[in-house]
């Protein structure tokens, strides 16, 4: 059977129609299915190469054009098309010169039998080149992927290391701050303190408060904060924050709100969401040193396949988003690729620590959310946070009762840090509670067995050496299902969200304020467990 003919789109640069026809016939004869096109001017040539013919055959000299010129134009256009010079025998030297310049081959007009094989070889070589280029670019892509993976791993390790350090420090630091602020409270509740002394103590208390917010930031960043989840309406959150934001951001930046009506609800930690908004807003302000407009935007968003593919790990489904946009200096791609790295900052020394966005990232991830960034240098940036939408109704936040003046009941206090235990006992006893103490879970068990139902509330640290507070409380609950528990501490060893506290259980973050402690203790002891409609 006859082999099907190979199609060949041929461009001939030649002034003689007859000579061109000879070339065409020769190739037909050699088994190609030739479609040829002849040109003799530079303009026609330039037009013809645009359609990328398979092979170019060029006569060395033409009245208004030449093979060397045609070759140079081809190279200038960076087109990879086999280029064969056809010349009379007198032109052999010059044809060789063309080869040196990059022509694929040359042929003498009186030996055209070589034309077919020369074209076949040129086509094969081109295919090999294409194959090689494809392999090279695949290799490059693989190298790039490996490099990016390495960088991500490195980043993850760095974050993990900083996180470990942060939570280690934060644990002790929170205990210290609890003592400082609690002692302030005790001194302030004493009669006979003069005005000057009162002012100093209040100053110490405020300093402790600032230190506490720093540890909160560190813990949030390392995703080791215990979450206090509740169902939130982000419109309300932003509305509530408006005044505070305006104060933080200053007069030069106008805050515009673009809030979606009928916004869905999300489940998140209110304090952490506040922190995300503040960090993003402060960055936006910093990007607009001469003032400008900052827009807060909320939307219901349905993430479809194509959007999910754009962001790492994003799943399809219903989300609520809030965005912070500025019309500031924007970011280059290079800056954008690093903004979530801890300690990455482009701000001058003393102006930024580079923890703002890594904290935001930590919080968003711990809340099962995602963050998308877009920016144009010189035009501004938008940060958009996506949080999964939930169906549960808003938690009705109970009016915060002031801490009861006097308490009544027996409290078992389990805390390994002596100073914190001492302080907490003092605060509770000062309010009238009877307090039993334990330095650990095992010992506490003994106490509670001895007291036989006389314990109204157990206050236990979550993180303790030996039996941790959560394990202790689990065992306790198995035996006394109705027992009320107040967990203290604000961090976990592993970067996980602690499950929502079941009824009769509450959490208070360290460092806590004595007022806050007394209020929560009061609620739990009174026996009206805090209703949480958002939970089963």
Ligand X SMILES: Nc1ncnc2c1ncn2[C@@H]1O[C@H](COP(=O)(O)OP(=O)(O)OP(=O)(O)O)[C@@H](O)[C@H]1O
* DSSP secondary structure letters along 57-89: EEESB-SS-BHHHHHHHHHHTT----EEEEE-G
Interface residue with ligand X among 53, 328, 369, 388 (CB under 6 A) is 328
Task: Tell me the closest approach of the beta carbon of residue 360 to Mg ion, in angstroms.
Answer: 9
Task: Tell me the closest approach of the beta carbon of residue 337 to ligand X, in angstroms.
Answer: 11
Task: Tell me the closest approach of the beta carbon of residue 329 to Mg ion, in angstroms.
Answer: 14
Q: Which of 276, 412 has the CB closer to Mg ion?
A: 276
Task: Tell me the closest approach of the beta carbon of residue 330 to ligand X, in angstroms.
Answer: 6
Q: Would you give the distance in Å from CA 96 to the centre of its chain?
A: 59
Interface residue with ligand X among 355, 414, 473, 485 (CB under 6 A) is 355
393 and 534 Cβ atoms separated by less than 8 Å: yes
| Closest chain position to Mg ion (CB) | 356
Answer yes or no whether residue 85 interacts with ligand X by CB under 6 A. no
Q: Which of 168, 292 has the CB closer to Mg ion?
A: 292
Residue 356, H or E segment: helix 356-366
Binding piece for ligand X, criterion CB under 6 A, among 270-278, 312-320, 352-360, 452-460: 352-360
247-286 positions binding Mg ion, by CB under 5 A: 283
Binding piece for ligand X, criterion CB under 6 A, among 119-127, 134-142, 279-287, 463-471: 279-287
Asked if the bond preceding 159 is cis, omega within 30° of 0, the reply is: no
Interface residue with ligand X among 335, 419, 435, 498 (CB under 6 A) is 335
Total residues interacting with ligand X, rule: CB under 6 A:
23
What letter would DSSP give residue 530?
Answer: P
Torsion of CA 258, 263, 266, 268, to 10 degrees: 30
283-302 positions binding ligand X, by CB under 6 A: 283-284, 287
Burial 29-66 (b: 16+ CB within 10 A, else e): ebebebebebbbebeebeebbeeebbbbbbbbebeebb
d(CA 534, CA 317): 21
369-398 positions binding ligand X, by CB under 6 A: 381
Binding piece for ligand X, criterion CB under 6 A, among 176-184, 226-234, 314-322, 351-359: 351-359
Binding piece for ligand X, criterion CB under 6 A, among 82-90, 108-116, 328-336, 441-449: 328-336
* 166 contact choice in Mg ion, ligand X, none (CB below 5 to 8 Å, kind-dependent): none
Q: Which of 168, 352 has the CB closer to ligand X?
A: 352
Which sign, positive or negative, has the C-alpha torsion 124, 126, 128, 134? Answer: negative
Integer CA distances (angstroms), 302 to 52, 307, 386, 387, in order? 45, 9, 10, 11
84 Cβ partners below 8 Å, 6+ apart? 55, 56, 57, 58, 103, 104, 105, 106, 107, 118, 119, 122
Interface residue with ligand X among 10, 59, 179, 357 (CB under 6 A) is 357
d(CA 304, CA 54): 43
Binding piece for ligand X, criterion CB under 6 A, among 259-267, 307-315, 341-349, 496-504: 341-349
339-358 positions binding Mg ion, by CB under 5 A: 356
Residue 445's Cβ-side half-sphere holds a number of Cα atoms within 13 Å equal to 14
Answer yes or no whether residue 352 interacts with ligand X by CB under 6 A. yes
Work out whether strand 32-39 and strand 6-13 pair parallel, antiparallel, or are unpaired. parallel
Residue 131, H or E segment: helix 115-188
Interface residue with ligand X among 214, 353, 499, 516 (CB under 6 A) is 353
**Collapsing DSSP states into helix, strand and coil, what is residue 13?**
strand
- For residue 465, the tally of other CB atoms under 10 A from its CB is 9
Task: Tell me the closest approach of the beta carbon of residue 245 to ligand X, in angstroms.
Answer: 14
Task: Tell me the closest approach of the beta carbon of residue 263 to ligand X, in angstroms.
Answer: 23
| Closest chain position to ligand X (CB) | 356
Answer yes or no whether residue 277 interacts with ligand X by CB under 6 A. no
Answer yes or no whether residue 354 interacts with ligand X by CB under 6 A. yes
Q: Which of 359, 438 has the CB closer to ligand X?
A: 359
Binding piece for ligand X, criterion CB under 6 A, among 122-130, 153-161, 324-332, 516-524: 324-332
Task: Tell me the closest approach of the beta carbon of residue 285 to ligand X, in angstroms.
Answer: 9
Task: Tell me the closest approach of the beta carbon of residue 314 to Mg ion, in angstroms.
Answer: 24
Interface residue with ligand X among 120, 155, 295, 346 (CB under 6 A) is 346
204 and 184 Cβ atoms separated by less than 8 Å: yes
Task: Tell me the closest approach of the beta carbon of residue 357 to Mg ion, in angstroms.
Answer: 6
Using only C-alpha atoms, the chain has a radius of gyration, in whole angstroms, of 38
Answer yes or no whether residue 447 interacts with ligand X by CB under 6 A. no
127-166 positions binding ligand X, by CB under 6 A: none
- For residue 394, the tally of other CB atoms under 10 A from its CB is 13
Q: Would you give the distance in Å from CA 18 to the centre of its chain?
A: 68
d(CA 295, CA 36): 62
Task: Tell me the closest approach of the beta carbon of residue 338 to ligand X, in angstroms.
Answer: 8
Instruction: By CB under 5 A, name the binding residues for Mg ion.
Output: 283, 356
Sites of contact with ligand X (CB under 6 A): 279, 283-284, 287, 326, 328-331, 335, 339, 344-347, 352-358, 381
């Amino acid at each position: 059977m006859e082999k099907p003919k190979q199609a060949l789109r041929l461009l001939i640069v030649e002034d003689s129609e007859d000579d061109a026809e000879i070339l065409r016939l020769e190739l037909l004869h050699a088994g190609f299915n030739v479609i040829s096109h002849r040109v003799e001017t530079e303009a026609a040539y330039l037009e013809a190469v645009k359609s990328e013919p398979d092979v170019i055959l060029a006569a060395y000299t033409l009245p208004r054009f030449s093979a060397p010129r045609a070759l140079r134009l081809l190279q200038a256009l960076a087109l990879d098309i086999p280029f064969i010079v056809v010349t009379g025998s007198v032109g052999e030297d010059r044809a060789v010169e063309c080869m040196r310049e990059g022509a694929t081959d040359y042929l003498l007009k009186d030996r055209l039998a070589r034309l077919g094989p020369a074209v076949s070889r040129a086509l094969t070589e081109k295919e090999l080149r294409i194959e090689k280029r494809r392999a090279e670019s695949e290799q490059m892509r693989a190298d790039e992927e490996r490099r990016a993976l390495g960088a991500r791993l490195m980043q993850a390790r760095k974050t993990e290391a900083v996180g470990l350090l942060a939570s280690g420090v934060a644990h002790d630091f929170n205990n210290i701050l609890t003592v400082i602020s609690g002692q302030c409270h005790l001194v302030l509740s004493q009669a006979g303190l003069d005005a000057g002394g009162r002012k100093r103590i209040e100053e110490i208390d405020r300093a402790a408060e600032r230190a506490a917010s720093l540890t909160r930031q560190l813990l949030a960043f390392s995703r080791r904060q215990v979450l206090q989840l509740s169902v939130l309406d982000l419109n309300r959150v932003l509305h509530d924050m408006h005044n505070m934001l305006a104060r933080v951001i200053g007069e030069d930046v106008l805050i515009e709100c673009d809030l979606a009506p009928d916004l869905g609800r999300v489940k998140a930690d209110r304090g952490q969401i506040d922190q995300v908004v503040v960090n993003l807003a402060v960055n936006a302000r910093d990007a607009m040193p001469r003032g400008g407009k900052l827009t807060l935007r909320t939307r219901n968003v349905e993430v479809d396949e194509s959007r999910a593919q754009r962001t790492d790990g994003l799943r399809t489904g219903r989300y609520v988003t809030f965005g912070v946009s500025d019309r500031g200096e924007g970011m280059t791609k290079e800056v954008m690729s690093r903004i979530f790295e801890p300690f990455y900052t482009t701000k001058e020394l003393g102006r930024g620590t580079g923890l703002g966005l890594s904290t935001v990232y930590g919080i968003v991830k711990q809340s099962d959310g995602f963050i998308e960034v877009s920016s144009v240098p010189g035009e501004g940036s938008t940060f958009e946070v996506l949080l999964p939408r939930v169906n549960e109704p808003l938690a009705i936040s109970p009016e915060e009762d002031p801490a009861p003046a006097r308490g009544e009941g027996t409290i078992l206090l389990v805390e390994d840090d002596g100073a914190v235990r001492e302080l907490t006992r003092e605060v509770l006893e000062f309010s009238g509670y009877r307090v039993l103490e334990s330095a650990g879970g095992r010992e506490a068990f003994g106490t509670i067995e001895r007291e036989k139902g006389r314990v109204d509330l157990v206050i236990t640290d979550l993180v303790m050496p030996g039996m941790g507070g959560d394990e202790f409380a689990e065992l306790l609950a198995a035996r006394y299902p109705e027992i009320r528990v107040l967990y203290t501490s604000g961090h976990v060893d592993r970067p996980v969200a602690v499950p929502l506290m079941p009824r009769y259980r509450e959490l208070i973050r360290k460092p806590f304020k004595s007022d806050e402690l007394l209020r929560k203790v009061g609620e739990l002891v009174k026996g009206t467990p805090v209703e949480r409609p958002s939970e089963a």
